[in-house]
Structure 1
Amino acid sequence: MTDRSADVPRARGQFRTALRESPPLWWALLYFFCLLCGYYVLRPVRDAMGASSDAATVFPAFMLDWAAARDIALGEFTLQVLFTGTFFVMLVLQPLYGALVSRFPRRVFLPVVYLFFIACLGAFRWAFDSGLPGRGALFFIWIAVFNLFAVSVFWSFMADVFDNAHAKRYYGYIGAGGTVGAFLGPIVTTTLVGRIGVENLPLVSAGFLAVCLLCILKLREWARRNETRRATHDERAIGGSVWAGLKLIVRDPLLRGLALLMFFGVGVGTLLYNEQAAIVRLSYPSAEAATRYYSMIDWAVNGLTIAVQLLLTRWLLRRYGVAPLLLLPACAILIGFSLLAASPYPLLVALVQVATRASEFSLSKPARETLYTRVSRESRYKAKAVIDTAVYRGSDVTFVWVHKALATLGSQVVFLAGVGIAAGMLAGAWRVVRAERRLPDRGRDPAV
């Protein structure tokens, strides 16, 4: 029987060996660490705005006047309105992103994207400091857009830097680096907010994004070498129309499966998030008790994610491929929602929430990103962007309103509906696994 006490030292040794073998792994780890740390510095600010019961602090005056004229209590629909607004912003930005990657090579558009994000953070510093009306909704939507586009661009770039074989070896480590950044970001916020104020936190995040920009510049050379080995023209612009991403998803069975998996995977998370908030309001009436509840979940999610990424993700990918990383979380979530439909107790909700979030970060996402190393560059940048943004937010806005409609019938009805959504997630995972078997298992890139 294997001595489990030797697993951690063995994992440390393998990690050190990977860093020696792959210099770009250093920069990739730093990149993802700073990206998620910068995001999680601002996430508490976003959550506070989304949870505010005072609509006047979130929405601009014209929306408040419109709602008041129609006797609509806008504060009762804060999350629904913010999620819907985020979705429509995504619909507008997706064609602009497609145009960007169609016209400019990677060495141009990646730095431009991050310079734009940094400039936006400077603008939000001014908005917070000046008390700009509607800044809450604007910031909430921008943070959601930033998170999705920035992370999508990151993994697309990693698919250029590392081929399929190296992705299986290193993506678990890279994901763990991001998890550490996500873990430390709120600590940075807690430490600094009392000293510099909320209005200056965007500047702290901008500093992390500046480091991300440096990492992009350092990693471009390895991306160029990898693309040369794949016999492609590295720095040419990615051809095709703005709507090429949608067309690719319609035509390609793998991309259709990934879109289906994303839609239902986000759906179970959105349903669980909203129902959990409703249960917490009933079971933990004080702010202190609710904070302890959420803190327990965050610590469990981050700890479990790091452990799985370091000890299990890489081994599963190399030994069995992506199948267990996609199917096991879907099966676990299906079982979890079935148990919740029978007994929606707060502790069980917390356990399912931990399993859902940790399995997404540690297993499902690294598996999905590994698949993008085996498709065309146009699929990596265009179809992936559609899936990670429009499909993601489309699911968000769909299921946040589904929850609103079902919540009046009780928690058990909500979780029973969640069983069906989890089954859809499992079906999407199975379609991806079947389509993945037809992909070439190599480091060469398919024809673009």
Structure 2
Amino acid sequence: MTTHENASPPPSDRGLRRFVNVEPHEIGALIASFAMFFALLSAYYIVRPVRDDIGVTLGKDALHQLFTVVFAVMIVLVPLFGFVAARFPRRLVLPAIYIFFALNLAGFWLVMKSGDRSMPVAGTFFVWASVFNLFVVSLFWSLMSELWSHEEAKRLYGFISAGGTAGALTGPLLTQGLVRLFAPIDLLLVSALLLVVAMSAGLVVRRLRTGGGGPETDAAGGGILDGALKVFTTPLFAKIALFVFLANVVGTFFYLEQARLVAATITNSAERVEFFSGRDFAVSVATFLIEVFGTARILRRFGVTAALLALPVTAAAGVFLLSFDAALWVVAAVMVAERITSFSLANPAIKVIYTLATPSEKYKVQNFIDTVVFRGGDATSGWLYSSLGGGLGFAASTMGVVAAPLVLVWIFVARRLGAEHQQRAAAAA
């Protein structure tokens, strides 16, 4: 007699298992996780080219000021999130926040549809988009680290990340296709709809992994500032925070230099949006292929430390090249390489580390690092870029001299973080 366990899996399951090392009982939740991240990043990448074009229009001087505003907004919002996470069941936190952001998108659509495209509205949208991206993605990974174990994460996070990359690829294509049928501002409603789809998929993942209830869905408890306190008192989280902070300081150097060169080289707004969406398309294709075929294999064979080190080493090469030739094609190539490495290797490695944390830490610590620390890196980089003479360009100023030591420190932190993860994983095993 053939049992359920010994029965041959259906052809669709066998096809999936050619690409990812997934157990039969994990397939439903894995597909729902993939779909959730797909819808989530599709929603964001519909509005991203608009945000980037607004950034170029506002100018590099306004940009570093807006990064400071975003950082200040994060400082205000994180304690509010801590209050919500501490008081409400975890199963309600993500849906409530996703619905909130979907309503925000509808609100921006109403304001801009009325014809208000003033500087305050443009600046507010830029700040909002920067906050929106970090909060919804951070909550997604908090849910993943809650529901998947450390060993499952090493096997499956590459494929789940590929869902987000497929969404990042689909978002610009949807934008380019739908903009021929609708006004660009109407695409904000498409983004809101996709965010609701992501929320629904998240509910499916939780039900498949936990049955939809039980103590694992209770409130996180504790104080509203627990996340910040644990970052400063727990060595592992302090290293993660420093890794993320340095990544953003260096990455925002590249972003601001790109904004300066795009403004000087491409004068037409439509051409700028096409440039940004084309670059996003290239990043998404390369990242998707690595995530499906390489991320899990690299994490298993070379470990989390190697995946972490790949990003600062890539940035070091970029700093070296830009110090000699800060042409637009060079900075664009550096940013493409850095983002591919970040999305396909460094980010999944960081998320694997979070699976070793407690449920409260998975939400509060991760949210604090993904928002306040992340945007703190943006703000710091903006101040440094401005004070070092960003208008002169990377190669013509002292930015390379400052960026090089930062990258070396970043490499040291990546090695130490990888070593501590190995110790924690061994202890947990």
User: TM-score, normalized by length of structure 2?
Assistant: 0.88
Contact 1:11 1:311 (C-alpha < 8 Å) held by counterparts: no
Q: What residue is the counterpart of 2:139 in the other structure?
A: 153
- Pick from 110, 113, 116 the counterpart of residue 126 of structure 1: 110
**Alignment RMSD, CA only?**
2.5
Q: What residue is the counterpart of 1:14 in the other structure?
A: 18
Contact 2:101 2:132 (C-alpha < 8 Å) held by counterparts: yes
State the 1:295 CA deviation: 5.5
State the 1:77 CA deviation: 2.6
Mean CA deviation greater in 124-133 or 301-310: 124-133
Secondary structure of the corresponding residue to residue 351 of structure 1: helix
Output the CA distance in 1 between the equivalents of 2:45 and 2:79: 27
Output the CA distance in 1 between the equivalents of 2:213 and 2:349: 21
- Pick from 170, 173, 176 the counterpart of residue 190 of structure 1: 176
Q: Does 1:82 align with 2:66?
A: yes
Output the CA distance in 1 between the equivalents of 2:73 and 2:407: 27
Contact 1:165 1:442 (C-alpha < 8 Å) held by counterparts: no
- Could you say if the C-alpha distance between residues 313 and 213 of structure 1 is closer, same or farther in structure 2, counting changes exceeding 3 Å? same
Q: What residue is the counterpart of 1:65 in the other structure?
A: none
- Cα distance per residue 1:126-164 (max 9 Å; x no partner): 111223453212211111111100000000100112111
State the 1:408 CA deviation: 4.6
Output the CA distance in 2 between the equivalents of 1:312 and 1:11: 17
Output the CA distance in 2 between the equivalents of 1:299 and 1:129: 28
Output the CA distance in 1 between the equivalents of 2:70 and 2:143: 24
Question: Which amino acid in structure 2 is aligned with residue 251 of structure 1?
Answer: T
Q: What residue is the counterpart of 2:409 in the other structure?
A: 424
Q: What residue is the counterpart of 2:57 in the other structure?
A: 52
Output the CA distance in 1 between the equivalents of 2:412 and 2:217: 37
- Cα distance per residue 1:237-276 (max 9 Å; x no partner): 1121111011111111110000000001011110011112
Secondary structure of the corresponding residue to residue 355 of structure 2: helix
Q: What residue is the counterpart of 2:46 in the other structure?
A: 41
Q: What residue is the counterpart of 1:70 in the other structure?
A: none
State the 1:222 CA deviation: 3.6
- Pick from 381, 386, 389 the counterpart of residue 371 of structure 2: 389
- Cα distance per residue 1:392-435 (max 9 Å; x no partner): 11110111121122225542222332212222321221221122
Output the CA distance in 1 between the equivalents of 2:312 and 2:232: 23
Q: What residue is the counterpart of 1:251 in the other structure?
A: 233
Q: Does 1:322 align with 2:304?
A: yes
- Could you say if the C-alpha distance between residues 408 and 42 of structure 1 is closer, same or farther in structure 2, counting changes exceeding 3 Å? closer
Question: Which amino acid in structure 1 is aligned with residue 401 of structure 2?
Answer: L
- Could you say if the C-alpha distance between residues 180 and 403 of structure 1 is closer, same or farther in structure 2, counting changes exceeding 3 Å? same
Question: Which amino acid in structure 2 is aligned with residue 219 of structure 1?
Answer: V
Secondary structure of the corresponding residue to residue 221 of structure 2: coil
Q: What residue is the counterpart of 2:96 in the other structure?
A: 112
Question: Which amino acid in structure 1 is aligned with residue 234 of structure 2?
Answer: D
Contact 2:53 2:272 (C-alpha < 8 Å) held by counterparts: no
State the 1:373 CA deviation: 0.6
Mean CA deviation greater in 166-175 or 125-134: 125-134
- Could you say if the C-alpha distance between residues 443 and 105 of structure 1 is closer, same or farther in structure 2, counting changes exceeding 3 Å? farther
- Could you say if the C-alpha distance between residues 17 and 408 of structure 1 is closer, same or farther in structure 2, counting changes exceeding 3 Å? closer
> Which structure 2 residue ranges, 5 or more long, are not aligned?
1-13
Output the CA distance in 2 between the equivalents of 1:244 and 1:351: 39
- Pick from 282, 296, 312 the counterpart of residue 294 of structure 2: 312
Output the CA distance in 2 between the equivalents of 1:290 and 1:108: 39
Q: Does 1:135 align with 2:121?
A: yes
Q: Does 1:368 align with 2:354?
A: no
- Could you say if the C-alpha distance between residues 438 and 85 of structure 1 is closer, same or farther in structure 2, counting changes exceeding 3 Å? same
**Sequence identity percentage:** 35
Contact 1:46 1:139 (C-alpha < 8 Å) held by counterparts: yes
- Could you say if the C-alpha distance between residues 287 and 150 of structure 1 is closer, same or farther in structure 2, counting changes exceeding 3 Å? closer
Q: Does 1:433 align with 2:406?
A: no
- Pick from 368, 391, 399 the counterpart of residue 414 of structure 1: 399
Contact 1:164 1:442 (C-alpha < 8 Å) held by counterparts: no
Contact 1:11 1:310 (C-alpha < 8 Å) held by counterparts: no
Output the CA distance in 2 between the equivalents of 1:211 and 1:291: 26
State the 1:51 CA deviation: 2.0
Question: Which amino acid in structure 2 is aligned with residue 411 of structure 1?
Answer: F
State the 1:323 CA deviation: 0.8
Contact 2:172 2:277 (C-alpha < 8 Å) held by counterparts: no
> Which structure 1 residue ranges, 5 or more long, are not aligned?
1-9, 54-74
Secondary structure of the corresponding residue to residue 57 of structure 2: coil
State the 1:320 CA deviation: 2.9
Q: What residue is the counterpart of 1:72 in the other structure?
A: none
- Aligned length, in residue pairs: 410
Contact 1:87 1:397 (C-alpha < 8 Å) held by counterparts: yes
